[in-house]
Structure 1
């Protein structure tokens, strides 16, 4: 029986379509517990590769025959060997092409909606990391918001749409993943925008994102509303696109709110975080569709694979927006936070331009789940 190959795109479709999948993850227990492929109808078995080198006979009765089976490892090699052993034992299995490395780097483009004067807005779902990037397309022009370091997909997508990338924005100085904004700007000649309060230590030229800026992409207005000190950073910035969409960066998520501690300033910034969420956002239209820079849990995905919800619904349902007592709020966002992202200080320095790790080092720095939210 031949061993099948499953791509990260195919696994992503199973996640979005809420299909069943059995995953045999042959990484060590610590890596598996830290970060794994998640799906609402996925089942799991974690047995390290080294425990299976001498044969798979002891686990055959744990491998189902009534659903697709996928063998997963870090970079592919171990999963190919175990999948071949299972196949020789008569089991119909596949391995994940490129392993968790490929899963970490896969981006799935999803159309979020149409713009009033023509054009579209797309969300790029980095399914394995929970990162969300955006492209606004209008009249032959495009803007990208919160691009990841995997830049080819944005360049290829723009080429397929026959649009010229004119502007790239980062809502804040990212701490959990390496931005691709500067790289895309260098490749296309587009303007690269950053909040100046986050850019005091950067080593490169940029356009300052400031409250009141309005940038036009084709026929579409991107209204920049600098919300002081929310989320991770002192410069975190929101965008209202086409009077329909609110891009919140890492201030507000669908199921949670942003953590203010990744620059060691939790106590200093918690008041600003509350002011942005509880007062400035309250002044915005409840009909705006919130498009965050991350999602935390797979249940936040809509049926079409997008991560989006009206602001009014979040004020009704998101626990982080419904804590009346300020001291309770302060305690929630400064205590009992999840572990900080892997290599987050190195990632911040990379995004400042202070260090330039090679491709493999950048990949290692990003491995693991995002941990941007207060949980």
Structure 2
């Protein structure tokens, strides 16, 4: 239902201020979601290049990568040199006025800067402070470097992801980063809710490893319940059969037959009623035990017709199914259009750019896709004026001294690089 501007309530997170030290993917994805629902996110970057994600291209949207552009829209960019005492002081004064701080440096980095939780909570006890790391803030793996690929391996995820022949492959998207970002949103919102009751903030410790293990709860429960170490099943699923991708005559498609009722209906629509009561396939447990023989039989059947034949048949009896679509097909799908999953925002240097839209639809306080991703330090002066009340002369002095970026003694071209 379209929003009526006259009746739309303030955004769900209106009034929440977030100081965002994060970079790359996990942290920026978390703060993207917060920004979409009305939090005022101040993206704090180093003057010496800023977020590494700015260069993760091609493709590029203007001066920055499309990767960075999509993850950092709706945020305000500030750049402060934290290695200078004046810069650290500015940062601490900003923290005094924040509701949330988020960072995803290696454990100990913020403490060394003088910005760790113990230090800043003394100044702002209402602060919700979220740290995202590879392995958490304590333990034997605490100081190990981690990126998505590494945690896909260390969490056990890659051991179950790949072909049945045994080749293990990375997820098609950065699942460890995104899971950590999602759990960070959940942790921050729970801490803000607790603050409403106690008046006190708290520390939110999210590790990519923990997030992956939690997200694989069903997989780990199968192992914990059976003691059998799982291995890759391709597109199959360990506890439901048939549940996988098959190749039709024209293209690949998936089916998911998850109940006894659907199994009987499935056998009827493919013209193999005999399979429904076959002793090897009469229950899901028996189908799991005999998956290879059954899947080979079904594969031969499906290769006889196109997906335009099979998919309407499956839909007619309520069996979940879909062709294996590429990104172009998804972007042009009328369902994703209706759900506003690819809104357009204007990039000042590259024109209109499609981005991914918010997945959560709230009826009274909907998400709003914000402004383009900020240039490095684009809002430094404005934020210091609005949040800290600094005068134009004070801001000019900080700029001239190289404490904030853009620095007024740098040339225009260099400041925009």
Same fold per superposition (TM over 0.5):
no
Higher Cα radius of gyration = 2
More strand by share: 1
- Superposition TM-score, scaled by structure 1 size: 0.31
- Superposition TM-score, scaled by structure 2 size: 0.29
